Amino acid sequence: MTRFRPLIFLLAVIWGVEAINLLMGHGLASWGILPRNISGLIGIPLAPFIHGSLVHAVSNTVPLIVLGGLTLTAGRGRFWQATILIVLLSGALVWVFARGAYHIGASGLVFGYFGILLARAVFERGIVSFVIAMITVVFYGGLIWGVLPSRSYISFEAHLFGLIAGIAVAWLERRFGKTGKR
């Protein structure tokens, strides 16, 4: 269980914020990313922890556990580095390019984990990375449809930019990191 402490901590923060948000009638949404608005910059690091409803938080929890757990197999340091970079890069892209509405939720991070797991298989070309990518595709391959606009209240932009950020982080790991084949 100690191996999963980083993921447990991340989920505890998300659910702690959700508890506060629930008590506030989900009023924390205004702390999300509001594109091209200076006050919306605060949302870049905060948006993954804020959800629009209890159902929204629950729907992000299971894929965060699975994909976050698979991302954690590369080690705690790489997990935290990937998590922080995905949050910041995807958040910045949402702030620059997304439509003018508050963007909240951990789905950008979910898509980032999805992207990094698939991209690591391509860049690392190791058997473990390949097996992890296959598990990811089998259980979460349908996520790819989430990068398309489907409902006005769902930030497909966070999904798309999370995926792009995950792929970029895997590329950066390979290019500048001291990572080998897994």
Query: String of b and e for 109-134 (b: at least 16 CB within 10 Å)?
Result: bbbbbbbbbbbbbebbeeeebbebbe
Q: Model confidence at 178, in pLDDT bands (50, 70, 90)?
A: low
Q: Is the pLDDT of residue 101 over 90?
A: yes
Residue 151 within a domain: yes
DSSP string, 52-68: SSHHHHHHHHHHHHHHH
Give per-residue pLDDT as tens, 116-151. Answer: 999 999 999 999 999 999 999 999 998 889 888 888
CB atoms within 10 A of CB 143: 21
Domain total for the chain? Answer: 1
pLDDT recorded at residue 151: 85
Which residues span the domain enclosing 73?
2-176
Q: Is the pLDDT of residue 24 over 70?
A: yes
Residue 182 within a domain: no
Q: CATH number of the domain at 96, please.
A: 1.20.1540.10
Give CA angle at 90 (131, 118), nearest 5°: 10
Q: Model confidence at 153, in pLDDT bands (50, 70, 90)?
A: confident
CB atoms within 10 A of CB 14: 21
Q: How far is CA 44 from CA 36, 41, 50, 51, 67, in A?
A: 12, 6, 11, 14, 21
pTM of the model: 0.94
Give per-residue pLDDT as tens, 45-74. Answer: 999 999 999 999 999 999 999 999 999 999
Residue 181 within a domain: no
Q: Model confidence at 158, in pLDDT bands (50, 70, 90)?
A: very high
